[in-house]
Amino acid sequence: MSIISSGNSSLDTISNAYQSTEQEKAQKDDVLGMDSFLTMLVAQLQNQDPLNPMEGSDFSAQLAQFSQLEQLINLNDTLETVATSSNQPTEGDFLNYIGKQVTGKVDTMTVDEGTVSSGFYTLSQPADVMIAVTDTDGHTIKTLYDGQQNAGSHMISWDGTNTAGEAVTDGSYTYSVMANTGHGYVNVPSTVTGTVDGITYTDGKPYLFVQGVLLDPDALTAVVDTGVGIGSGSVDSALSYLGKTVSSTSPIVLVEEGGVSGTALTFNLEDQADITLTVYDAFNEKVKTISLAANDTVEGENMVPWDGGSDSGYKTSDGVYYYTVKADSGFVRTPVSEEVSGIKVMNGSQYLVLKDTGRLVAPSSVIGIN
């Protein structure tokens, strides 16, 4: 909006001041804010009776009101800035993740002074793999061919160059993993689970350092404080369980060197019932489903063998697994109560080794100690 002066020097001064204010506050469109107030004041000066002009005292009073209004609006802007800043995560908030076990979606690699952070993906069965790397505009700058890969977790190795072999500029790049098990390529969700070893910043944005991968805090799907239930989380406090009998309803199955440690998977039934036992990996991906008819179950403790195979017919990779049992009436209890014979560390997390079944129990899931 422009204001035309009628030649009055005082009016010219006010008009120029208003135009400067309007440029600084171009995005402000307050109904009764500074712009509206000053517009009304200038219009009043332009249309006053030349034979009965505004008294100097009245004009001064209106300028004082304008000054007060400007101060109030500036104060409101300051308060809004303070409120916005207080809602932003601080460095201390991210440091609280260190030492905790997290799970998050990973689809970004960063390039910083030519150094490329690693990518990550997990296969539930052997597959032929290729990876597309895209820039912030969504353009594919390079396709990586990893070839045939076994089931399990794999790191992505990219040298930071494009298809032409030229080094790309520093920044963040997104990748997508496609796997072909013999029925065409399908997208593979990329997640990583592990202990946060540190915090690093790229382009001013914080990332969690997990298993050599940079994980965006906004992509977290689970956070577990591995120190819960074992005091400070030290090995010494975990050793305090040795020789004691602990109870838990969340037994963990360990697959190591292709073999399943411990006895068959157990669960308790009050009455015979049709059940579905489902085995999951550490990324909450379904691995194996076993169904039993009611006639194949008994009242009390039931035992179902699992050889480490998956629904696809392939052997699962080494790691930790858990299982659930569901009947028509709902989920079935999977209690375990045994003496602790050892401590095992997996992915930075401590587990209690049960003597008889060979199962693992997270200290945080212990519900009773004898």
Q: Which residues are within 8 A (CB) of 302 and not within 5 positions of it... i.e. 6 or more apart?
A: 266, 267, 268, 269, 275, 292
Q: CA 369 to CA 238: how far, in whole Å?
A: 13
CB contact at 8 A, 281 and 316 = yes
Considering only CA atoms, give the Rg of the chain.
33
| CB contact at 8 A, 116 and 108 | no
Q: What is the pLDDT of residue 229?
A: 37
The type of residue at 29 is D
> pLDDT-based confidence at 275, cuts 50/70/90?
very high
pLDDT tens for 125-145 read: 888 999 999 988 888 999 998
All CATH 2.60.40.4070 domain ranges in the chain, comma separated? 94-224, 235-369
Task: Tokens for 214, please give them.
Answer: 């940079």
Q: What is the CATH T-level fold of the domain 235-369, as seen in this structure?
A: Immunoglobulin-like (2.60.40)
Q: Which two tokens stand for residue 38?
A: 């000053």
pLDDT digits (tens, 9 = 90+) for 76-94: 776 666 555 444 444 456 6
Q: Which pair of tokens denotes residue 209?
A: 């350092």
Q: How many CA atoms lie within 13 A of 59 on its CB side?
A: 13
When pLDDT is averaged across residues 45-51 and rounded to a whole number, the result is 68
Percent of the chain with pLDDT over 90: 8
Please state, in angstroms and rounded to a whole number, the distance separating the CA atoms of residues 42 and 30.
Answer: 17
Residue with tokens 């517009």: 39
Task: State the maximum Cα–Cα separation within the chain, in Å, rounded to a whole number.
Answer: 108
pTM value > 0.85? no
Question: Phi and psi of 85, rounded to 5°?
Answer: -65, -35
Per the prediction, the chain carries an average pLDDT of 75
Instruction: Tell which CATH classification among 1.10.1740.10, 2.40.50.140, 2.60.40.4070, 3.40.50.300 matches the domain 94-224.
Output: 2.60.40.4070
Contacts of 306 (CB under 8 A, 6+ apart): 253, 260, 264, 265, 279, 288, 290, 323
**pLDDT reading at 56 higher than 90:** no
Looking at the predicted structure, is the pLDDT value of residue 232 above 50?
Answer: no
Per-residue pLDDT, averaged over 285-307, amounts to 91
Instruction: Residue 108: name the closest of 63, 171, 58, 167 by CA.
Output: 171
pLDDT at 248: 83
For the chain, what percent of residues have pLDDT higher than 70? 70
Which runs of E-coded beta strand occur in 271-359? 275-281, 286-292, 300-304, 319-327, 330-331, 336-346, 349-354
